[in-house]
Amino acid sequence: MALCSMFCCVKSSNRKNQRIKESTWRIFSLRELQVATNNFNYDNKLGEGGFGSVYWGQLWDASQIAVKRLKSGSGKAETEFYVEVEILGRVRHKNLLSLRGYSSQGQERIVVSDYMTNLSLLSHLHGQHSAEFLLDWNRRMDLAIGAAEGIAYLHHFATPRIIHGNIKASNVLLDEDFKAKVSEFGFIKLVPEGAISAKGARGYLAPEYASSGKASAASDVYSFGVLLLELATGKRPLVKSSSTCALTIIDWAVPLARERKFSELVDPDLDGKYLEEEWRRVLFVGLICAHSQIEKRPTMLEVVELLKGDKEKVAALENDEMFKSIPGTEEASKYVVSEKVAKQESVNV
Ligand SMILES: Nc1ncnc2c1ncn2[C@@H]1O[C@H](COP(=O)(O)OP(=O)(O)OP(=O)(O)O)[C@@H](O)[C@H]1O
């Protein structure tokens, strides 16, 4: 908390500065990053994921940065790292967190980006900012569309096309105006295969990605669907169903959506203040994205259109087979299967 307030103080005085520095791309020396992060001090640590740890830092010009130090030993050879990171560094879109540069000395492989003052969707939905209720419905809708546009850019317009591979709430960052900045796109190319299946991605991985270890545009769509469901329901990707078991948010939501029990699905933190039509759109789009049959999932471009409210497409979506009520037994047996799976995975909830 102390660390957070320190960041917030520095934040406002640096806003202007940060905007000016945003687009510069360069190689950092290890020494400069050591100075900026107080030698990768524990107090500067923002968190740790499957690839390594992220530190808050401040450069000589007072701009704030996030420094991702990839796990030692997992580093790619210098040339390979350089090639991949240079490709990612060229990607620019209003809803993607651009890289500022990198450092590659000895065994160290470090990626530098701007520090996002409002942290991540994870911290607002389930973490340190959740009690402040800063994500009203308008912001959530805006974040959903923004993040979808960022990912659609990666899939359909970036050269070469980029698969994100690790879409989740901690990788959707919020800038000072609460606009979505999707981070860590393409990082799966910077780390060894399998790093993603770490426990942090639980509940986000499409079944075919979890079993093959191969990410695809369709597996990104699945993960994005889970994210939409989190925004609509306020639940985590794994929903507690008993003291020892959890369901995926999809298995929890599908039966309720089929029975049109929306009041049981909506995030109570919204306190009834949301546009029903938009909320349903986010719910149904989220569910179709997470369809178990890959070919039924929309592309990210279609997701953007749907979220923006293409009336015909949304109506067709709500009438999709997936949301037709199925008599008793099938629904019940689906729950049992999910519970078994959850048990086998010894999910900790
Ligand atoms: N540029 C940034 N600005 C602010 N916070 C950031 C930034 N980059 C990362 N973070 C935060 O730092 C924390 C650690 O990030 P990190 O990416 O290491 O972990 P993760 O997202 O949980 O897992 P993974 O490595 O699988 O993405 C997360 O809470 C993330 O939201």
Residue written as token pair 């911290």: 123
If pLDDT is split at 50, 70 and 90, which confidence band does 195 have?
Answer: low
Q: What is the pLDDT of residue 310?
A: 80
Sheet arrangement for strand 26-27: 26-27, 99-105, 108-114, 64-70, 52-58, 45-48
Is the pLDDT assigned to residue 338 strictly greater than 50? no
What class is the 121-343 domain?
mainly alpha
End-to-end CA distance of the chain: 24
46 lines ligand 1 (CB under 6 A): yes
Nearest CA to ligand 1 atom 25: 49
Per-residue 3-state assignment (H helix, E strand, C coil) for 210-252: HHHCCCCHHHHHHHHHHHHHHHHHCCCCEEECCCCCEEEHHHH
Report, as an integer, the average pLDDT of 197-210. Answer: 81
191 lines ligand 1 (CB under 6 A): no
223 lines ligand 1 (CB under 6 A): no
Mean residue pLDDT of the chain comes to: 85
State the distance from the centre of ligand 1 to the C-alpha of 188, rounded, in angstroms.
Answer: 14
**Residues 72-82: pLDDT tens digits?**
655 567 788 88
Is the pLDDT assigned to residue 179 strictly greater than 70? yes
Pair 88, 186: CB distance under 8 Å: yes
| Alpha carbon 15 to its chain's center | 24
Ligand 1 site-directed mutation target among 171, 172, 196, 202, most atoms within 8 Å of CB: 171
What tokens does 147 get?
């993040």
Among 234, 203, 225, which residue's Cα sits nearest to residue 124? Answer: 234
Nearest CA to ligand 1 atom 14: 47
Domain regions of the chain by residue span: 25-114, 121-343
What class is the 25-114 domain?
alpha beta
Pair 228, 152: CB distance under 8 Å: no
**Residues 111-163: pLDDT tens digits?**
999 999 999 999 999 988 887 888 999 999 999 999 999 999 999 999 999 99
Q: What is the pLDDT of residue 37?
A: 98
Q: What are phi and psi of 176, to 5 degrees?
A: -65, -20
Q: What is the pLDDT of residue 145?
A: 98
Atom of ligand 1 nearest to the CA of 68: 18
Q: What is the pLDDT of residue 132?
A: 82
Peptide bond into 160 cis (omega under 30): yes
Question: What's at 122, amino acid-wise?
Answer: L
| Alpha carbon 10 to its chain's center | 26
If pLDDT is split at 50, 70 and 90, which confidence band does 241 have?
Answer: confident
pTM of structure: 0.87
ipTM entry:
0.96
Q: What is the pLDDT of residue 118?
A: 94
Is the pLDDT assigned to residue 173 strictly greater than 60? yes
**Which stretches of the chain are assigned E, i.e. beta strand?**
26-27, 45-48, 52-58, 64-70, 99-105, 108-114, 172-174, 180-182, 238-240, 246-248
Percent of the chain with pLDDT over 90: 62
Distances (CA, A) of 2 to 8, 44, 246, 295, 328: 10, 11, 34, 48, 52
**Helix or strand run (H / E) with residue 344:** helix 329-344
68 is in an annotated binding site: yes
Atom of ligand 1 nearest to the CA of 198: 26
Is the pLDDT assigned to residue 337 strictly greater than 50? no
